[in-house]
A and B are shown apart, each in its own frame.
Chain A
Amino acid sequence: MIYLYKEILESLRYKVIWINLFLIPFFQFAPFVLMSADPTQVLIGLICWYVLTQYFFVIPNCFEDERINGTIVNLLTFPVSVVRLLISKGIWLAFQTIAIVTFTLFLFLLFNITVKDLPLLLALVVFDCFAMFCCSVFYLGLVLHIQRFSRINGFIQDVLGFFSGYTFDIRKFPIGLRLISYLIPLTYIIIIARHSTVFTPVALMMVTILSLMLLFLGLHMVNQKIQKLRSSGEWNVW
């Protein structure tokens, strides 16, 4: 809780950034949504993908941000576990994301674009936050081991969005490409969100299993890298 308290205090001090965060999704999605034959379906896909982008921007860069600020040493000299640190960031990010998603949906409402079952979509966004947190921890592990992954973060987000069918139905893909789609947790979340009358337990189970696998693998990679950095003295000059 104390770490969450610190995250909240720090975040709320960057006032102008909040205006940015709340308005960007609408202006980013509006060209695709408003021009689409089925704007609601496109909006749903983009909202789910937006959650991915938030987690992929914050979690994989969290150590780099601490390093740039010089506060990375606190993580090593305070009795805080990396897991607790990441979960605190994930929780605060979930609150932010849900608030921003709700505001964005309200802005689209002004253009008469509505979502049939709003509470269900918001519940799914919460689940999406959990799944994307797991995926982003895995990506953090990759970034720590192979720094180049941090440079292609934006590209990876777009690729994952594309293959998960954020603006279209993945059934239009050839079978080979569709197999890639089925490896991405976001694909199932978008399928569930779009076909909310068919609440598929199988899809939820697939997301949970995939996400947890990625989470545990990611945590293992993160811990492994921390040990290696410590022994090489890289924290000192990192």
Chain B
Amino acid sequence: MLPLIEINNISKSFKDNTIIYNCSFEFRGSNMYLIHGDNGSGKSTLIRIMTNLLSPDEGHVYYNHFTFEKDQKKILQSLGVILNDDRCLYYKLSAWENVYYAGRIFGVSKSILHSRMTTLFDLFDLPKDKTLIENFSSGMKRKVAIVRGLVHQPLFLLADEPLNNLDEESRFKCIQVFKQLALNGSVVIVASHIIDEGYRDLFDVILEMKDGKLHDLSLQGNSGITSL
């Protein structure tokens, strides 16, 4: 059975401002989804609701028919999250220590973790020494956050603006790694307001967040995506 994320009649408002209204969609495994939309369209809000950082006013999110209310730990074990905020890294730890900590929290064994970390660190040219995160550039921090979100090979990967601050080569590597994860059966969801023409075709489904809802652009016959 392929993994599945269902969002069911999700609505969210902040004070009198409705961000998401009655939004429903099914995200299936082995697919890489792009959620595109303007600033303030609700992409990040949706990602936060799906990662349980925010509770919706109405509706539910199901991960393989499980909900956060009842099966929080089971879902979190399979969830990988890459947020648009590099402060989520521990500044007094090195890149290797940050990722190692995350991998062990997710239950990856030491030997497998070491092997995966070596592969990902080499791929993204990240230092394996004791240099603390506080001394990294924003692009390097973003790469560490990406590797940290991937190291446990999550069944569900949710990434909010993962390509910000990355150079061209790193963006391509990032999308390729996400694609490989999707090909291995995971659900990969990337929220981004810009995506380059060169990688757009790597996405299986392109969605637009507009008027509080998700619109499947492949059904509408146009992408409407801003290119770099």
Q: Judge if A174 is at the interface, Cβ distance under 8 Å.
A: no
Contact between A235 and B53, CB atoms less than 8 A apart: yes
Contact between A230 and B52, CB atoms less than 8 A apart: yes
A-B contact count (CB 8 A): 72
Number of interface residues of B (CB under 8 A): 30
Q: Judge if A70 is at the interface, Cβ distance under 8 Å.
A: yes
Interface stretch, picked from B81-89, B181-189, B214-222, is B81-89
Contact check: which of A70, A76, A80 meets B105 at CB < 8 Å?
A80
Within the complex, the shortest CB–CB distance from A107 to chain B, in Å, comes to 29
Within the complex, the shortest CB–CB distance from B60 to chain A, in Å, comes to 13
Within the complex, the shortest CB–CB distance from B13 to chain A, in Å, comes to 10
Chain A binding surface SS class: helix
From 1 to 41 in chain B, residues with beta carbon under 8 angstroms from any chain A beta carbon are 12, 14
B49 closest partner in A (C-beta): A233
Chain A residues near B12 (CB-CB < 8 A):
233
Contact check: which of A2, A14, A70, A235 meets B101 at CB < 8 Å?
A2
B48 closest partner in A (C-beta): A236
Contact check: which of B48, B83, B89, B106 meets A78 at CB < 8 Å?
B106
Binary flags per residue of A70-102, CB closer than 8 Å to B gives 1, else 0:
110110111111000000000000000000000
Cα separation A81 to B77 with both chains bound (whole Å): 12
Q: Judge if A197 is at the interface, Cβ distance under 8 Å.
A: no
Within the complex, the shortest CB–CB distance from A77 to chain B, in Å, comes to 4
Contact between B54 and A77, CB atoms less than 8 A apart: no
Name 5 A/B residue pairs within 8 A (Cβ), A-sorted: A10-B93, A70-B85, A71-B90, A73-B83, A78-B105
Given A230-B52, A230-B54, A236-B48, 10 extra CB contacts under 8 A = A5-B101, A6-B90, A6-B93, A10-B92, A77-B79, A78-B102, A78-B106, A79-B76, A79-B107, A81-B73
Cα separation A79 to B155 with both chains bound (whole Å): 14
Contact check: which of B79, B81, B87, B97 meets A70 at CB < 8 Å?
B87
